[in-house]
């Protein structure tokens, strides 16, 4: 006898699954993860097996998808578009193989055709006399949506079949999906235009295919892959699944390059692992592997259940999207000073890994996704990519859940946190003292274009910081021979050479020192312009934004960066300590007061010069008043070309820009 509790549980599950189907297939706005949906469906199936008298024809377990959207003409499928049963581990695959062996009454190994399970939208393509006449979505398996106009915009779908033996009628089933590169580019455009950002490539493909305006579909990077023949008239149907797909390919329709014939269920396990290992390096998303009996006669003999063929199964990969709860939001400071909000999660397994943290990217993303502390959220992890919070499950939100707020000061060094106009990132302004930025700040300070401290490479900087010997650039000049000699792979002679290099670096130039401070967006050219305009470091430190934007190469954003940097007392203290250690530079005259011969000109240097490095040649040009650029344009005065110059000379010739060899460069600069 059926209990009232079982009846209500089944009804509740059906209602919830039906709503999720509408959210996913009709509204293109999924509210739950794949894992959660699969759990609901399996629970319902188990209950219907336990209480078969409660099984109804309209149960979600007996259907493939959702209702057809009223926005599109309805199409009846002559051959139903069925779904696939799933296997989640090796035992379920072995059970699948045993069921087939028992049904077929065979003792020998069954052969399978295998291919990746693409994460997109299933469609049917109908060709009559070789021409595409109809494309339809799966819909509920019996009827779908007519999306012919949209599918015709997908370049990988041939409008006319090729070959000498084009069939009278061919219906091909396949998947429309969006490659990862195109998906990321699409979302970038959506953000820039303040439009909906898609949660994943599958969602993007579904939303793109079901646009009422085909021009929108045409602008989306969709592609198609065939996986089955549903109907074929006027041509002999090959005897195996694999050969059928090769026939489809001969007509000009794409098939998976990873499709294989497998001689046993053990080979299926090997193929699954092979695809699992490749998954993160593929240019498209897959969520498992589809295995089908290769022999078509065996397929026909085993037949179908109500919603799926008995002869095929999808072995799913570990879920990449799951649901969990945000316990808190903290802010991490990156090596460039950018603050990134990180969700602290109730630990959950996703993609085979237990995840307790996930990125929220930036405050704009938090606001766009409307994330609150305490929310139930969908978390996504793909390969080695940092897990991210995809969306909040709004139906579970409580009124007292609060939005995360960006801190006013850096959580690491307590320096001011700023956000510049037009930028999404918030940044810590304590560049020289912030522990999170320490290593990068010291590496830049020691680099060849900055203080040029010979022997102080990246690995040594990391070792010095990790052992607590230096906390800022100022500490470099108080290092001792004993400290350096104690480091790994640092003999006394090498230690002394580094101390000599540090002492030598104290004789520098004002442009180099300004550049070495690592002020955001202040590169070599801007540092030179600042030095030439103000002539003294103190004048740069005290300049306001209105004064700074008078300098060439300094706009409002850079001016704000400079002011914020020198406004931090900790940065000023480090600079003062460095100068007290003996750092000095020769005085310079104002650029306006010097009649430099190359003032107002712009040069590009390319190739290998015989007597100069490119940096040396650039410094010679700058001292004569020229600007040095990395790219050729109509405004370029000339290109200085050494051996093997590459494409910049070709571009210069196209733009009628003068090209100088090294001899002409010497004549120009008087060297």
Q: What is the DSSP string of 105-120?
A: T--SPPPEEEEEEESS
What whole-number distance in Å separates Cα of residue 646 and Cα of residue 333? 40
Tokens of 454: 């010979």
What DSSP character marks residue 6?
Answer: H
3-state secondary structure of 198: coil
Burial 397-426 (b: 16+ CB within 10 A, else e): eeeeeeebeeeeebebbebebbebeeeebb
233 in helix, strand or coil?
strand
> pLDDT per residue over 295-306, tens digit each?
999 999 999 987
Residue 165 has what pLDDT? 87
For residue range 111-123, what is the model confidence (pLDDT) as tens digits? Answer: 999 999 998 999 9
CATH superfamily of 595-669: BRCT domain (3.40.50.10190)
pLDDT at 64: 59
Residue 627: predicted pLDDT: 81
What is the per-residue pLDDT for 20? 82
pLDDT at residue 18, rounded to an integer: 79
pLDDT of residue 71: 75
Q: What stretches of 493-587 adopt beta strand conformation (E)? A: none
- Domain positions in the chain are 4-62, 76-85+105-314, 438-580, 595-669
In this prediction, residue 445 carries a pLDDT of 94
Distance CA 462, CA 367 (A): 37
Give the model's pLDDT for residue 67: 60
CATH number of the domain located at residue range(s) 76-85+105-314 in this protein: 3.30.470.30
Sheet of strand 602-606: strand arrangement: 627-629, 602-606, 638-641, 658-660
Q: What pLDDT is recorded for position 622? A: 80
Backbone angles phi, psi at 20, to 5 degrees: -65, -35
State the pLDDT at residue 140. 85
The pTM assigned to this predicted structure is 0.58
CB distance 150 to 217 below 8 Å: yes
Residue 27's pLDDT is what? 63
Per-residue pLDDT, 635: 85
CATH architecture of 438-580: Orthogonal Bundle (1.10)
User: Which residues does the annotation mark as catalytic?
Assistant: 117
Contacts of 628 (CB under 8 A, 6+ apart): 525, 602, 603, 604, 605, 618, 621, 622
* Ranges of residues in the chain whose predicted pLDDT is under 50: 593
Q: Which CATH class is domain 4-62?
A: mainly alpha
Residue 194 is predicted with a pLDDT of: 79
Rounded to whole angstroms, the Cα distance separating 121 from 136 reads 10
pLDDT, position 234 = 79
């Amino acid at each position: 006898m059926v209990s009232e509790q079982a009846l209500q549980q089944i009804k509740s599950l059906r209602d919830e699954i039906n709503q999720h189907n509408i959210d996913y297939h009709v509204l293109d706005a999924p509210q739950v993860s794949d894992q959660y949906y699969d759990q609901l469906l399996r629970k319902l199936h188990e209950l219907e097996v336990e209480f078969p008298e409660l099984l109804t024809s309209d149960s979600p377990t007996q259907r493939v998808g959702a209702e057809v959207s009223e926005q599109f003409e309805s199409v009846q499928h002559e051959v139903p578009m069925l779904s696939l049963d799933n296997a989640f581990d090796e035992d379920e695959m072995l059970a699948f193989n045993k069921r087939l062996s028992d049904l077929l009454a065979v003792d020998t190994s069954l052969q399978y055709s295998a291919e990746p399970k693409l994460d997109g939208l299933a469609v049917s393509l109908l060709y009559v006399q070789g021409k595409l006449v109809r494309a339809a979505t799966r819909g509920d398996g019996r009827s779908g949506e007519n999306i012919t106009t949209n599918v015709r915009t997908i370049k990988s779908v041939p409008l006319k079949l090729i070959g000498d033996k084009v069939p009278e009628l061919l219906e091909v089933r396949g998947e429309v999906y969006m490659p990862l590169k195109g998906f990321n580019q699409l979302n970038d455009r959506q953000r820039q235009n303040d439009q909906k950002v898609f949660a994943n490539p599958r969602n993007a493909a579904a939303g793109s295919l079901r646009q009422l305006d085909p021009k929108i579909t045409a602008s989306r990077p969709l592609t198609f892959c065939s996986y089955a023949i549903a109907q074929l008239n006027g041509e002999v149907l090959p005897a195996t699944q694999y050969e059928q797909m090769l026939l489809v390919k001969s007509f000009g329709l794409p098939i998976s390059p990873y499709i294989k014939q497998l001689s046993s269920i053990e080979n299926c396990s090997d193929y699954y692992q092979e695809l699992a290992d490749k998954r993160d390096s593929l240019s498209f998303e897959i969520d498992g592997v589809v295995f089908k009996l290769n022999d078509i006669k065996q397929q026909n003999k085993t037949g179908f259940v109500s919603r799926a063929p008995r002869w095929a199964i999808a072995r799913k990969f570990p879920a990449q999207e799951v649901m969990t709860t945000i316990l808190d939001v903290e802010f991490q400071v990156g090596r460039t000073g950018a603050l990134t909000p990180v969700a602290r999660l109730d630990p959950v397994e996703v993609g085979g890994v237990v995840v307790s943290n996930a990125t929220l990217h930036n405050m704009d993303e938090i606001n766009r996704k409307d994330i609150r502390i305490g929310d139930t959220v969908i978390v996504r992890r793909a390969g080695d990519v940092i897990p991210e919070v995809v969306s909040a499950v709004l139906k579970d939100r409580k009124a007292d859940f609060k939005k995360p707020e960006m801190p006013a000061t850096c959580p690491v060094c307590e320096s001011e946190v700023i956000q510049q106009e037009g930028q999404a990132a918030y940044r810590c302004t304590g560049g020289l003292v912030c522990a999170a930025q320490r290593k990068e700040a010291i590496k830049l300070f020691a680099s060849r274009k900055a203080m040029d401290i010979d022997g102080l490479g990246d690995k040594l900087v990391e070792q010095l910081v990790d052992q607590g010997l230096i906390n800022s650039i100022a500490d470099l000049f108080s290092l001792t021979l004993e400290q350096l000699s104690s480091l790994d792979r640092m003999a006394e002679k090498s230690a002394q050479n580094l101390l000599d290099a540090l002492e030598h670096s104290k004789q520098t130039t004002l442009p180099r020192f300004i550049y070495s401070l690592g002020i955001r967006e202040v590169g070599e050219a801007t540092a030179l312009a600042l030095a030439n305009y103000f002539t003294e470091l103190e004048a740069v430190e005290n300049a306001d934004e209105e004064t700074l934007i008078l300098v060439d190469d300094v706009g409002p954003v850079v001016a704000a960066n400079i002011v914020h940097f020198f406004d931090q007392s900790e940065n000023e203290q480090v600079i003062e300590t460095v100068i007290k250690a003996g750092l000095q530079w020769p005085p310079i005259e104002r650029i306006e007061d010097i009649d430099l011969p190359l003032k107002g000109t712009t040069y590009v240097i390319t190739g290998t010069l015989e007597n100069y490095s490119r940096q040396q040649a650039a410094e010679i040009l700058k001292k004569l008043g020229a600007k040095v650029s990395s790219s050729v344009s109509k405004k370029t005065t000339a290109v200085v070309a050494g051996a093997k110059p590459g494409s910049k000379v070709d571009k210069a010739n196209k733009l009628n820009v003068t090209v100088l060899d090294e001899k002409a460069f010497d004549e120009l600069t008087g060297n």
